[in-house]
Amino acid sequence: MTTITRIDEGARMSEAVVHNGTVYLSGQVGEIGDSVADQTRTALAEIEMLLSKAGSSKANMLAAQIWLADMADFEAMNAVWDAWVADVPRPTRATGESKLADPGYLVEVIVTAAVA
């Protein structure tokens, strides 16, 4: 039987799910009203916390998807991202523009990682 572990499960979704040595995170966002750089920092801090709860870390990231409400924020988001991954192996990554769940969200980050 396969074991599936759900982390911070709510009525609608779990913040993370671990299955077969892989942790899948839901999209993480920052506080509405903050700049894209601040929202990115907040989202990445949430990712680190969830990966830790799952027995992983940012060093074990396999893939990242980043959605920006406006591609004009690409450089500001990348400055935060680049500093965050400077000391770990880089995952694969895709970045695109999308209308996010709330107009105040400027960035959403989704990560998949191996369990340590």
CATH of the domain at 81: 3.30.1330.40
Per-residue pLDDT of the chain (116 residues; tens, 9 = 90+): 789 999 999 999 999 999 999 999 999 999 999 999 999 999 999 999 999 999 999 999 999 999 999 999 999 999 999 999 999 999 999 999 999 999 999 999 999 999 98
pLDDT digits over 30-48, tens only?
999 999 999 999 999 999 9
> For residue 97, what are its two tokens?
């523009």
Range of the domain at 100: 4-114
Report the domain count for the chain: 1
Place of tokens 């959605």: 67
Q: Tell me, rounded to whole angstroms, the distance of Cα 36 from its chain centroid.
A: 14
Place of tokens 């920006």: 68
Give me the amino acid identity at 113: A
Q: Is 33 left (phi over 0), alpha (psi -120 to 50) or beta?
A: left
Phi/psi of residue 47, nearest 5 degrees: -60, -45
